[in-house]
Structure 1
Amino acid sequence: MVRLPLTPAQLAVGQQLGAYLRQARGGRTLVDVAEAAAISPETLRKIETGRMPTPAFVTIAALADVLSVPLDELARICLARVTV
């Protein structure tokens, strides 16, 4: 299966999500948060840098739980419509 290239809007949403998660992580290390969320550090790194703008729901739910942030806030960011 070939994945279509990401649109500028999808890339912008990914960058916004990544920035939010980095801020929510605070002083915790990327490895600590990734392990607590049962995802690989590389997956979290890709999300935080915007290279994975559409992570799976279970990944977002796990990060919301580990970072103690409202899931609906992460959903709002992921569903944002960005004007390009």
Structure 2
Amino acid sequence: MVRVPLTPEERDRGERLGHLLREVRGERSMVQIAAQAGISVETLRKIESGRIPTPAFFTVVALCRALGLSLDHTADALTPPLEERRLAS
């Protein structure tokens, strides 16, 4: 099966997710958060760096739980402002 290339919007959203996770993680180690989320440190590193811009839903859920971050807040942070969405249309 051929994988469809990601859109610029999907890549941008992945970068915003990575930035949010890094910001909320703060001084906590990647090892600690990855262990709490049940993922590898390398997976967390790739998500935070934007190299995995579309992680699985349950991976995002696990990371949010490990970081004490609500899914609502996460979704809001990843949704571009209305003006940006209008310009993209």
> Shared topology, TM-score over 0.5?
yes
Task: Give the TM-score band, short-chain normalised.
Answer: 0.7 to 0.9
Equivalence for 2:53: 53
**Cα separation, 2, equivalents of 1:5 and 1:75:** 22
**For residues 34-62 of structure 1, what are the alpha-carbon distances to aligned partners after superposition, in whole Å with 9 as ceiling and x for unaligned?**
11100011111111011111111111111
What amino acid is aligned across from residue 45 of structure 1 in structure 2? R
Greater relative CO, 1 or 2 (CA 8 Å, sep 6+): 1
Which has more radius of gyration?
2
Equivalence for 2:11: 11
Does the 8 A contact of 1:24 with 1:67 survive in 2? Answer: yes
SS in 1 for 2:38: coil
Moved over 4 A (4+): none
What's the TM-score, normalizing by structure 2?
0.82
Equivalence for 2:32: 32
What's the TM-score, normalizing by structure 1?
0.86
| Structure 2 residues without counterparts, runs of 5 or longer | none
How large is the RMSD of aligned CA atoms in angstroms?
1.7
Q: More helix by proportion, 1 or 2?
A: 2
SS in 1 for 2:65: helix
